[in-house]
Structure 1
Amino acid sequence: MTSNTFRISEDLGVRRLGFGAMHLPTEPAADREASRAVARRAVELGVTLIDTAYLYGGGANEELLAEALHPYPDGLLITTKVGVARSVSSGEWRLDGRPTVLRAQVEQALRRLRVERIELLQLHRIDPDTPLADQLGALRELQTAGKVGRIGLSEVTVTELERAREIIDVASVQNRYNLLDREHEPVLAACEAAGIAFLPWRPVAAGASSARAEIAAVAAELAATPTQVSLAWLLEHSPVILPIPGTARIDHLEENLAAAHLRLTPAHRDRLNRLPEPA
């Protein structure tokens, strides 16, 4: 039986099917109000993990979630990410893991989210131009100061994860992963062995036409949608996977969250497991 809950760092319980807020528009005003409605509906439907980041609108996404949901209900985890900054001269986004930048972005996130502590903070990417020990050391200092509860990583290799675990306790990993894109299977295996939460971004992706046809066939046999089948496969594939599908529409949100109740048969899982990844 697939469990619908997971305990991050063994002490923070969440439902395994969360919500990614990246796609929520923050303007114009009508779209912003619709986005707030989607976020509120997610919580009404039992979502307890919402993912955002400074990168999503330079903090605008964080502000939107606070407008929609603050004061936050008990048990709701809003996780955000830092470590990507916008160049003042060019306006381009780039990796920036300098301790001064990370500390500033955390302080800004605390203000925008209207909290005194970020229960799960993830490093959006490892900055190759800044020593890893400096990046994680800065986040560990914020953790010691009580401004961060748990620290996670995003888009890391097994080797990078191992190096990071020598410096900090890693609570989560957020890598690209889905039924048709399993490049990070070794990272998932490492997370499973260590009991680390694995939050796949882009949890549903289009593949080759033959693969899409097979997913559609399984969906038809289960009276479900291909998206629901893809999410159900993730939930059953590993107990540490916490998918965070995102959408700006309430009907898509409800479709996504219904996947938590879909059960694949062993035969269906076998057919899906054999699907080839795109070349």
Structure 2
Amino acid sequence: MASTAFDIGGDLGVRRLGFGAMRLPTEPGADREHSLAVVRRAVELGVTLVDTAHLYGGGANEELLAEALYPYPEGLLVTTKVGVARTGPDGAWRLDGRPAILRDQVDQALRRLRVERIELLQLHRVDPETPMADQLGTLAELQAEGKVGRLGLSEVTVGELEQAREIIDVVSVQNRYNLLDREHEPVLAACEAAGIAFLPWRPVAAGTAGERTEIAAVAAECGATPTQVALAWLLGRSPVVLPIPGTARIDHLEENLAAQDVELTQVHRERLDRLTG
């Protein structure tokens, strides 16, 4: 059985199977109340890593998490991301890593999450129009000021990770990765070699896992669902992998979190390893 815990940055202990809050409805009404219930249930079931971002509703997702969970239980990590802003034509979302934007989004996150320090902050995307040194330098300044504890990246290449590590101490990388989509395999390998947490977003290929005969067959043999097999495969793929499956339904949440109890044999893993998207 794969280890269920990981220390991000060597000192921030979390359970490896986390929760991605992106899909939660935030508009007032019954859907929002259900979102609050989903988040609270996730923590009740032992989740200690919850992922959000400024992009998710322009901060509305951060406010939702604070409403659901504040005051936060000891040991709970709510990580957020900055670097995407409504600064495009007609207020459209665009990558924006200018220092003033990053600083403003961090200050907004501190207020919305009701914290004095964001223990893990990730750059949502590298802005190609702003020098990386300016983007990461700003985050390092915020870290030095005590507003941020640790720094991570999202959707980066191996080269960008190497470049970033010359500027900051990178403790996490959040890239798209799952059983059927392994484009970022080289990035995962680089993270594993350096002991950097790798948070795969979209950890389950939406709507496809159950359609693959081999995944369905393994699931039947394990007494699990295809989704649970996909998550169990990730947990066994590398000790640095911290999946953050997201859902707006409590039954799906409970299904996802039960994946840590699914035991794949070596033969199962070899069969799954041979799959490609």
Q: TM-score range by the shorter chain?
A: over 0.9
Gaps of 5+ in 2: none
Contact 1:206 1:212 in 2 (8 A): no
1:158 paired residue number: 158
Superposition RMSD on alpha carbons, in Å? Answer: 1.3
Gaps of 5+ in 1: none
Q: For this pair of structures, how many residues does the alignment match? A: 277
Matched, 1:129 2:129: yes
2:2 paired residue number: 2
Aligned pairs for 1:104-253 (under 5 A) are: 104-206=104-206, 212-253=212-253
Contact 2:210 2:226 in 1 (8 A): no
- Say if 1:193 and 1:135 are closer, same or farther in 2 by CA, change over 3 A: same
Distance 1:265 1:124 in 2: 36
Q: Deviations over 1:97-129 (max 9, x none)?
A: 000000000000000000000000000000000
- Say if 1:133 and 1:260 are closer, same or farther in 2 by CA, change over 3 A: same
Distance 1:227 1:198 in 2: 19
Say which SS state the counterpart of residue 22 (structure 2) adopts.
coil
Contact 1:122 1:153 in 2 (8 A): yes
- Say if 1:64 and 1:92 are closer, same or farther in 2 by CA, change over 3 A: same
Distance 2:34 2:42 in 1: 12
Distance 2:167 2:5 in 1: 28
Read off the aligned partner of 1:167 and give its amino acid letter: I
Read off the aligned partner of 2:187 and give its amino acid letter: V
Read off the aligned partner of 1:225 and give its amino acid letter: T
2:98 paired residue number: 98
User: 1:27 offset after TM fit, Å?
Assistant: 1.4
Say which SS state the counterpart of residue 53 (structure 1) adopts.
coil
Read off the aligned partner of 2:249 and give its amino acid letter: R
User: 1:90 offset after TM fit, Å?
Assistant: 1.2
Matched, 1:69 2:69: yes
Read off the aligned partner of 1:143 and give its amino acid letter: Q
Q: TM-score, normalised by structure 1?
A: 0.97
Distance 1:209 1:202 in 2: 12
Read off the aligned partner of 1:130 and give its amino acid letter: T
Say which SS state the counterpart of residue 41 (structure 2) adopts.
helix
1:56 paired residue number: 56
1:26 paired residue number: 26
- Say if 1:130 and 1:217 are closer, same or farther in 2 by CA, change over 3 A: same
- Detail structure 1 runs of 4+ shifted over 2 Å in the superposition: 206-211
Contact 2:201 2:244 in 1 (8 A): yes
Q: TM-score, normalised by structure 2?
A: 0.98
| Amino-acid identity (%) | 79
